[in-house]
Structure 1
Amino acid sequence: MEIFILAFFALGYLVLAGADLGVGMLLPFLGRSPGERREVIAAIAPFFLGNEVWLVATAGVLAGLFPELEGELLSGNHSVVVALLVAWVVRDMGLWLRGRVPAAGWQRCCDGAVVAGSWGLALSWGSLLSDMLVGIDGPVSLLAALAVATLFAAHGLAFAALRLRGVLRERAAVLSGGAGEARTYALTGTALAVIGVLAGLQLPLTPGATGAFLAPVILALIPLLVASQAWVWWTFRHRVTGPSYL
């Protein structure tokens, strides 16, 4: 039961948040003017905070149900975890602050923070996942990390094609051939989930003593999380028609 809970939240984060990471990574390609970039960011604006809840929940489950594994992952990948957290802060800072000052230079700086933070997050996750899968350092591990980051970018393109219109959609649909963005999104999401499962199978998933108490509580809360996520997706199911509050 504990392993299912951890997998549910971790895979949910990779698939859902992987899309807004990919959009942020390719922001200069998708949006080639300030107005276009703001519209591209509007594609992920309703989702990125909710997607981050899955990461917070994953960290909480890891700490509460798998404390030994949490210690091993943090101590063995300290620099990567620090880079991941810094990139997370930089990306979110760029998203939140870009609309606070109307100056063009400020918005370009914030857009750069979004791109840099998104790439930092994707490469950090790629490094963590490739370390679990490959287990060795050096060029092979770096190539594996870059491959995972590239998959995040492809997932973001498919999501952007689902959300955008006109020329922005045409740019995002470079991998999906026009009308096949839903299929491409499903394929890239499945690939991220498979990588997550394969990486998880390499871990010593031994639950801690608190599982008997915490697991039923978490299971009772999962339907609420799924329902809220479904409500957000249903509410913002239509394509973007203009810039958002970001």
Structure 2
Amino acid sequence: MDTSTLALVLLACCATGWFVLAGADIGTGMLLPYLGGSAAERRLVIASFAPFFLGNEVWLIATAGVLTGCFPDLEGALLTGQFPALVVLLTGWVVRDLGLWSRGRGPGRRWRALCDGAVTAGSWTLALATGWLLTAVLTGRPYEPAGGPVAVLGALAVAALFAAHGLSFAALRLTGVPYERARRLVGRSRRPWHSFALTAVLLGGLPLAAGHVLAPGGHAADPATLRLLVPVLLAVMVPMVAVQAWIWRLFRHRVTGASYL
């Protein structure tokens, strides 16, 4: 397998990893007001994805790194063409993380309610911005923002898929009343991970479909650059996957109490 093909595989793995893994905590954050009716319940909901969200975000950073290093022409064109969507996406990311980190560090219920609102709003913004960007790519216009009803419907459809993925994740992780709320929508299957697997496959297919449209192989860096970068990226990818697997195994049980957030 040549270096350009390896670079494509790395890009696909990183992008798919972010959609599937980070999609779980983004979707759960979107449903925070529904799953958590009280401050204590919302803290339990946040505890369900608190151990994962930082590690999950690494996959988005890795995607940007592979795109910039191995496919610089495509990265530049997307950055220019999808600048509005990317600004909205990053804004949602910052707002969501600010709410998560600040929730347990301020006084009073109003502060926690404000932070919970930031988590929810930031999560929705992230999901909608991702849908807006994907709509432009999948409709064959990757170098300009999508507009009109197609953009609205595409953004809402992707956001709904994020929410469904988060709901399935919540059904696997929560206990008590929040779990019952999640299970009410997911269903009472004896194997709730089936729903999570289904939404993971659907979400993971989105970046692969976008990659098919973009055909990044035609925008690869020169062979000398790829021969330098790809082995380094592969060396980084192995421990990244190992640590991610270890985290998900370590925190595989349902949550019963609050986290540090």
TM-score computed with the length of structure 2 as normaliser: 0.92
**Residue 207 in structure 1 maps to residue 217 in structure 2:** no
Q: CA deviation at 1:180?
A: 3.6
More displaced, 82-91 or 163-172?
163-172
Aligned equivalent of 1:113: 118
Q: CA deviation at 1:144?
A: 1.1
**Residue 191 in structure 1 maps to residue 202 in structure 2:** yes
CA RMSD of aligned residues (A): 1.1
**Residue 142 in structure 1 maps to residue 155 in structure 2:** no
**Residue 172 in structure 1 maps to residue 187 in structure 2:** no
**Residue 151 in structure 1 maps to residue 128 in structure 2:** no
- C-alpha distance in structure 2 between counterparts of 1:41 and 1:28, whole Å: 11
More displaced, 170-179 or 103-112?
170-179
Aligned equivalent of 2:21: 16
* SS of alignment partner, residue 214 of structure 2: coil
- C-alpha distance in structure 2 between counterparts of 1:244 and 1:196, whole Å: 32
Q: CA deviation at 1:172?
A: 1.1
Query: What is the one-letter code of the residue matched to 1:165?
Result: T
Q: CA deviation at 1:241?
A: 1.0
Query: Does the aligned pair in 2 maintain the 1:31–1:40 contact within 8 Å?
Result: yes
Percentage of identical aligned residues: 57
Please list the CA deviations of residues 162-219 of structure 1 after superposition, one character each: whole Å capped at 9, or x if unmatched.
0001221121123431234200000001001112211111114121122121011111
Say which of 47, 58, 61 aligns to 1:53: 58
Query: Does the aligned pair in 2 maintain the 1:154–1:175 contact within 8 Å?
Result: no
Q: Which consecutive aligned stretches of 4+ in structure 1 deviate over 6 angstroms post-superposition?
A: none
Q: CA deviation at 1:141?
A: 2.1
- C-alpha distance in structure 2 between counterparts of 1:70 and 1:180, whole Å: 41
**Residue 88 in structure 1 maps to residue 101 in structure 2:** no
Query: Does the aligned pair in 2 maintain the 1:24–1:118 contact within 8 Å?
Result: yes
- C-alpha distance in structure 1 between counterparts of 2:258 and 2:92, whole Å: 24
Query: What is the one-letter code of the residue matched to 1:164?
Result: L
Query: What is the one-letter code of the residue matched to 2:220?
Result: P
* SS of alignment partner, residue 199 of structure 2: helix
Q: How does 1:1-80 map to 2 (within 5 A)?
A: 1-80=6-85
Aligned length: 246
Query: What is the one-letter code of the residue matched to 1:181?
Result: P
Query: What is the one-letter code of the residue matched to 1:219?
Result: L
Which runs of 5 or more residues in structure 1 are unaligned? none
* SS of alignment partner, residue 184 of structure 2: coil
* SS of alignment partner, residue 106 of structure 2: coil
Query: Does the aligned pair in 1 maintain the 2:135–2:150 contact within 8 Å?
Result: no
* SS of alignment partner, residue 243 of structure 1: coil
* SS of alignment partner, residue 174 of structure 1: helix
Which runs of 5 or more residues in structure 2 are unaligned? 1-5
- C-alpha distance in structure 2 between counterparts of 1:175 and 1:183, whole Å: 14
TM-score computed with the length of structure 1 as normaliser: 0.97
Please list the CA deviations of residues 99-122 of structure 1 after superposition, one character each: whole Å capped at 9, or x if unmatched.
002310000000000001000000
Please list the CA deviations of residues 150-170 of structure 1 after superposition, one character each: whole Å capped at 9, or x if unmatched.
000000000011000122112
**Residue 181 in structure 1 maps to residue 186 in structure 2:** no
- C-alpha distance in structure 2 between counterparts of 1:172 and 1:196, whole Å: 27
Query: Does the aligned pair in 2 maintain the 1:84–1:124 contact within 8 Å?
Result: yes
- C-alpha distance in structure 2 between counterparts of 1:91 and 1:18, whole Å: 13
